[in-house]
């Protein structure tokens, strides 16, 4: 699935010098850097999202729904993206990996998370026509504290595989906000309402943009960011994330 990349191969070789080929989740079974240091048994805990799901936000549903539908959240909410899809459910192994990657500087999980996204997003996006990839930005203060933007790192893998430009200088985060994790739908929307702005001098001319983030829950963050892309002149914005909050 992934295209060969010298930088990725170097990084995986570097990891092999410092981390034994043991799963970094269970600590028992063997796992290589190419597996994201997640063993086959722990991989079984990953839940890929399959239809039926909301055609607008990608929220999965149980049952035998065979027609396209929108969930109640999307019917009642103004969203600035055309559609949002996620590779897997944000639970179990996936949620633990995302938390450790973002908050514990567990950068060796990057290839695991990127692989989840590539498996699902690449076939879909290749069948359509998109012009560029844009990651959801972090506030500069938070990015300095964390040392990286997880969305940008994951988005770079998608851009490389689709052979599309990665554009990080379109939207900037201008206001820090509380973590979205424990907020209600209404609070999430208000929390990010004025969080994003256009990078000075940035413009678009009808390009179709794939907006990338690690997790989507209510879609408030992605929608606020997509609104700025539309104001810049984007013709259409779709969203892809590694995981979907349920």
Residue-range domains of the chain with CATH: 16-45 (no CATH), 78-244 (3.40.50)
Q: Is 70 exceeded by the pLDDT of residue 90?
A: yes
| Residue, of 40 and 179, whose pLDDT is higher | 40
- The model's pTM is 0.87
Per-residue confidence at 68, pLDDT binned at 50, 70, 90?
Answer: confident
| 3-class secondary-structure state, position 171 | strand
Q: Is 80 exceeded by the pLDDT of residue 17?
A: no
Residue 60, phi-psi category: left (phi > 0), alpha (psi -120 to 50), beta (remainder) = beta
Q: What's the angle, vertex CA 85, arms to CA 79 and CA 86, rounded to 5?
A: 125
Q: Is 60 exceeded by the pLDDT of residue 244?
A: yes
Find, among 212, 201, 218, the residue nearest to 237 by Cα.
Answer: 212
Question: What is the rounded average pLDDT for all residues in the chain?
Answer: 89
pLDDT per residue as tens digits for the range 178-229: 565 666 667 766 777 789 999 999 999 999 999 999 999 889 899 999 999 9
Q: What pLDDT was estimated at residue 191?
A: 75
CA end-to-end distance (rounded Å), the chain: 27
Query: Within a 10 A sphere around the Cβ of 69, how many other Cβ atoms?
Result: 14
Report how far residue 152's alpha carbon sits from residue 143's, in angstroms, rounded to the nearest whole number: 11
Cα separations in angstroms, 188 against 182, 183, 191, 222:
9, 6, 5, 11
């Amino acid at each position: 699935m992934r295209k060969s990349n010298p930088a990725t191969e170097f990084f995986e070789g570097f990891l092999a010098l410092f981390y034994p080929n043991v799963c970094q989740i269970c600590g028992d079974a063997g796992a290589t850097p190419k597996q994201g240091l997640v063993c086959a048994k722990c991989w079984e805990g990953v839940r890929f999202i399959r239809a039926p799901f909301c055609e607008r936000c990608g929220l999965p549903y149980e049952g035998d729904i065979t027609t396209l539908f929108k969930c109640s959240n999307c019917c009642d909410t103004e969203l600035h993206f055309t559609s949002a899809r996620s590779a897997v459910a944000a639970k179990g192994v996936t949620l633990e990996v995302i938390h450790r990657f973002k908050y514990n500087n567990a950068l060796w999980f990057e290839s695991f998370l990127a692989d989840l996204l590539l498996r699902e997003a690449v076939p879909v996006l290749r069948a359509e026509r998109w012009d560029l990839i844009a990651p959801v930005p972090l506030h500069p203060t938070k990015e300095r504290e964390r040392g990286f933007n997880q969305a940008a790192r994951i988005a770079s893998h998608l851009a490389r595989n689709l052979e599309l430009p990665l554009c990080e200088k379109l939207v900037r985060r201008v206001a820090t906000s509380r973590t979205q994790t424990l907020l209600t739908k209404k609070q999430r929307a208000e929390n990010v309402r004025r969080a994003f702005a256009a990078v000075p001098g940035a413009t678009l001319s009808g390009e179709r943009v794939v907006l990338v983030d690690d997790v989507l829950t209510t879609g408030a963050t992605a929608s606020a960011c997509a609104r700025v892309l539309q104001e810049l002149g984007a013709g259409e914005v779709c969203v892809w994330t590694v995981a979907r909050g349920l």
